[in-house]
Chains A and B, each alone.
Chain A
Amino acid sequence: MRIELRGITKRFGSFTANDRIDLVVEPGEIHCLLGENGAGKSTLMNVIFGHLQAEEGEIIIDGAPAKFNNSGEAVRRGIGMVHQHFMLVPVFSVAENVVLGFEPTKSFNRLDRRKATEEIRRVSKEYGLEVDPDAIVEELPVGLQQRVEILKALSQDAELLILDEPTAVLTPQEIDALMAIMRSLAKAGKSILFITHKLKEVRAVGDVITVIRQGQVVGSVPPTTSESELASLMVGRDVNLTVNKEAGTPGKDVLEIRNLVVRDDRGLAVVNGVTLDVRAGEIMALAGVQGNGQTELVEALAGMRRVESGTITLNGRDVTNKKPREMLDEGLGHVPEDRQRNGLVLSMTVADNLVLNTPRRAPFARRGTRNLAAVDENAEKQMKDFDIRATSIRESVSALSGGNQQKVIVARELSRPLEFLVASQPTRGLDVGSIEYVHRQIVNQRNEGLGVLIVSSELDEVFALGDRIAVMHEGRITGIVDPSTSRENVGLLMAGSTMAVA
């Protein structure tokens, strides 16, 4: 399918989300749409998919103008969309999910499961998308759930597939698998619109990269364009992808982890004998493929998960199995992996979220009564100091962009006296400008002598931030190396090789 957008303009009140956007996707092409969070990518996709109607401009499909009043019309015209948040029924099987909405039926309107299963098998085979049709969706890993979404679109005969930030939720291996699928689909003649803000991915998989900024197309470039060029197109200025950090002056060990064993919810020892020291004035970056125990290790440090055996020592004090409250009082700052789940109360105001874990401390409260003036004053100050973009301190956090939400957490954690900082995936899902800002803040803290543990699945971040890099695999530290080590060697450690590479 060849789809062409001409002068698409979409306004929300006085805000122009899409401003005269032109775009052409050729058959068999992987067209990447690159832009910061809030640049208008998702709005544009919703216009194409019929969720939203543009005020101006037209959509031309294979030479004929098309207009969709709802997504059903778009689907019938051969457009499929894989949403960032999957639209699947978790308790249904793969087959049931795929046929949902146009179920094959037997007499008396009964669902024809056999036919549904065959349909999955057919599409699976055609495009090399292996999924067990009888598996229950909620029991599948995220990568496979996404595959079900793609299958669903394909079985509805989609000729243009829109993938909205598909890699945000995937592990590196799953990303590789997805890219392979995208290539094979393109080879089969499908057109693909791939939305992302990750530079590496567009260069790896795209045929054409269109960059949008503040609702406007700022350029269409070939995938050979360098990352720094793409980044500056995205944010409109030159961005430092590598963090300019001064040489550190590491002091004595502040965090000492000894033979730590932690079990996950299923009872498996996913942290299985971790020993790690982090010094004051040092950033230790913990690399590793997601799901190798990093999450549980951080939860144990924050007091949110029981330690089975081993010890955690902070500045010489044993803090093993302290409660979350006690760890906060011990001076542990924690930027949680899933900020909306663990770090914020979305329905509350910016001001309240900035004191979420210190509501009882002076000056924010005295004898059980909150001092709202102090809370507000603190909020005004943090908004200025940490460049949090919100209309006011009374705005609810749910209205902020991901980057500004993360800044709220970072501001809250860094503005109290800390002895150690743990930050898990501190820049996941953030735009380049915000990433730069968060990195800068972390480096500043380290310069002032704070010990920092960064957990990240992005190798770029690990290399950019780490003074030392620890690699975790299957619950163990497979090596601690210098950031000058090659990516290949770190990759080997991530894959479980324990050979001495340092």
Chain B
Amino acid sequence: MTDNLADVLAQSEPDPVTPRRSLWSRFSSKSPVLLAVLALILGFLIGALVIIFSTNTVLDAWRQIFSSWSAPGHALKVTFDNVGAAYRSMFTGSVIDPPQFWHSLTTGKQWDSSLTPLSETFTYATPLVIAGIAVGIAFQTGIFNIGANGQAILGGITGVAAASMLHMPAIVHIPLTMIAGIAGGMIAGAIPGFLKAFTGAHEVIVTLMLNYVIAFFLLFVLLSTALQLPGQSNDISRNMDSSAQLAPLFGTSSGLRVSYGIFIAAAVVIFAQWFLDRSSLGFDFRITGNNPNAARASGINARRVIILVFLISGGLAGLAGIVQAASTTHYIDGNFLIGNAGIGFTAITVALLGRNRPMGIVWGSLLFAALGVGGRSMQAATGIPLDLATIIQSVVVLFVATPVLVKEIFRLRETSTNAVHLATQGWSS
């Protein structure tokens, strides 16, 4: 089937040497980075339209453009003011506020508040990178791990249990907590792994459903077991020992939340790079993901690969869960990674955005974290709802997932179909 599809694509592809050479065609659009940047630009353009159509002052200005000679200019000005203010507050809230930053740079004071936006962005991005890589490695093996969120929750549960119910010095307690988190994620990953390997059960269904099972298991654990904070009837866990917490990088007094967790994320990125590019097992994974039949003929044991993928992917997702808890709240409650906070789901998007490559996932995570963090400060500053950030995120993903559309919009004609690989291979397996 794929052969047929390729043929059809090849035939429907416009003639590669039409004289219509646009400026864009001079860029080599082989680069997926360019595509992501273009998708981002489109995201912000569509976000601007949303701002225009949802802000009454802007709409009013446009309604009155025929009232006087200066009205059209006024309408334009109001538009740019509003859109500009929204995006400016988004930027200053998630990256840096240039005047504030300049102030710190020249006087050496108030570094804490100058760095708060970046610190927040990195705080949100840290577990997202780890979870994104968990999903990305599975994708590269042709496995759809939709259950990263459930695996992260279970990792959070086991990690917090080890962190709050065992007591020891930090030098052992932190590694033990992380390992407990990884183990929790592996247990959650092993279930769909073994089911797929031995019965052929489709991992999308199993992992998706397990997310619900684990979400309710979280409530059970928080309400009916020793992990519940003593003396409480709410769904809230014990606090992690301070010896098991990932401390803020610049000390507790700085108020900057970014923690030592970013070193864990960096280690995961390095591991994933090595694993996919240099390890024999990673090579097996990629062969299996790209052509399961050739993998079999080459002597690769498919069952072993499936189980190992789920253990590695689940373990990393579990690590993401415990890193999230250990660097921010230091406890978990019934809302842990539920709803908007479901980093395991955002991770799927981020993996797609980063084309399942570790560094791509890092950039994707930073972008998504920045949009989320910036969206909150935009909401505070301009009253434009946080949902705008979600709209931009969604539009970016939409365009990244449909490279043909982006190429058409920007007239990137001189590209070979090879430049565009779909990040995932469809649901058949």
Contact residues of A with B, CB < 8 Å?
Answer: 11-13, 46, 51-53, 83, 85-87, 302-304, 323-328, 334, 336, 340-348, 352, 356-357, 359-360, 365, 368-370, 372, 396, 399
Which of B50-58, B84-92, B291-299, B401-409 is the contact stretch?
Answer: B291-299
Shortest CB-to-CB span from A409 to chain B, Å, is 10
Residue B81, interface by CB 8 Å = no
Q: Which residue of B lies closest to A12 (CB)?
A: B16
Contact among A85, A324, A369 for B298, CB-based, below 8 A: A324
Which of B113-121, B257-265, B274-282, B338-346 is the contact stretch?
Answer: B274-282
Q: Which residues of A contact B17 (CB under 8 A)?
A: 11-13
Bound complex: CA of A321 vs CA of B392, how far in Å? Answer: 56
Residue B97, interface by CB 8 Å = no
Residue B4, interface by CB 8 Å = yes
Shortest CB-to-CB span from B415 to chain A, Å, is 13
Q: Which residues of A contact B291 (CB under 8 A)?
A: 341, 344-347
Contact among B16, B274, B301 for A13, CB-based, below 8 A: B16
Q: Which residues of A contact B274 (CB under 8 A)?
A: 369
Q: Which residue of A lies closest to B425 (CB)?
A: A347
Q: Which residue of B lies closest to A336 (CB)?
A: B297
Verify A348–B3 contact, CB threshold 8 A. no
Bound complex: CA of A404 vs CA of B139, how far in Å? Answer: 29
Verify A356–B287 contact, CB threshold 8 A. yes
Residue B27, interface by CB 8 Å = no
Verify B301–A345 contact, CB threshold 8 A. no
How many B residues touch the partner, as a band?
Answer: 20 to 34
Residue B67, interface by CB 8 Å = no
21 contacts between A and B (CB under 8 A): A11-B17, A13-B17, A85-B4, A85-B7, A87-B4, A304-B297, A323-B301, A325-B300, A327-B299, A341-B293, A343-B297, A344-B291, A345-B287, A345-B294, A348-B287, A348-B290, A356-B298, A359-B280, A368-B279, A369-B279, A370-B280
Residue B333, interface by CB 8 Å = no
Residue B252, interface by CB 8 Å = no
Residue B421, interface by CB 8 Å = yes
Q: Which residues of A contact B300 (CB under 8 A)?
A: 325
Contact among A83, A347, A359 for B283, CB-based, below 8 A: A359
A-B pairs under 8 A by CB, number: 88
Residue B418, interface by CB 8 Å = yes
Q: Which residue of B lies closest to A372 (CB)?
A: B278
Shortest CB-to-CB span from B29 to chain A, Å, is 16
Residue B284, interface by CB 8 Å = yes
Q: Which residues of B contact A326 (CB under 8 A)?
A: 299
Shortest CB-to-CB span from B419 to chain A, Å, is 12
Shortest CB-to-CB span from B211 to chain A, Å, is 30
Residue B286, interface by CB 8 Å = yes
Bound complex: CA of A324 vs CA of B297, how far in Å? Answer: 6
Q: Which residues of A contact B68 (CB under 8 A)?
A: none
Verify A304–B296 contact, CB threshold 8 A. yes
Contact among B15, B281, B286, B294 for A53, CB-based, below 8 A: B15
Q: Which residues of B contact A46 (CB under 8 A)?
A: 11
Shortest CB-to-CB span from A246 to chain B, Å, is 32
Q: Which residues of B contact A344 (CB under 8 A)?
A: 291, 294
Shortest CB-to-CB span from A376 to chain B, Å, is 13
Bound complex: CA of A396 vs CA of B291, how far in Å? Answer: 14
Contact among B15, B16, B280, B286 for A360, CB-based, below 8 A: B280
Bound complex: CA of A493 vs CA of B384, how far in Å? Answer: 82
Bound complex: CA of A86 vs CA of B3, how far in Å? Answer: 10
Verify A328–B299 contact, CB threshold 8 A. yes
Bound complex: CA of A113 vs CA of B7, how far in Å? Answer: 30
Shortest CB-to-CB span from B417 to chain A, Å, is 10
Q: Which residues of B contact A325 (CB under 8 A)?
A: 299-301
Q: Digit string of B14-31 for contact with A (CB within 8 Å is 1, else 0)?
A: 011100000000000000
Q: Which residues of B contact A347 (CB under 8 A)?
A: 290-291, 421
Q: Which residue of B lies closest to A50 (CB)?
A: B11
Q: Nearest 5 CB-CB pairs, A to B? A: A325-B299, A357-B298, A324-B299, A342-B297, A345-B291
Shortest CB-to-CB span from B271 to chain A, Å, is 12
Known A344-B291, A345-B291; contact A302-B283, beta-carbon cutoff 8 A = no
Bound complex: CA of A85 vs CA of B296, how far in Å? Answer: 25
Q: Digit string of B35-66 for contact with A (CB within 8 Å is 1, else 0)?
A: 00000000000000000000000000000000
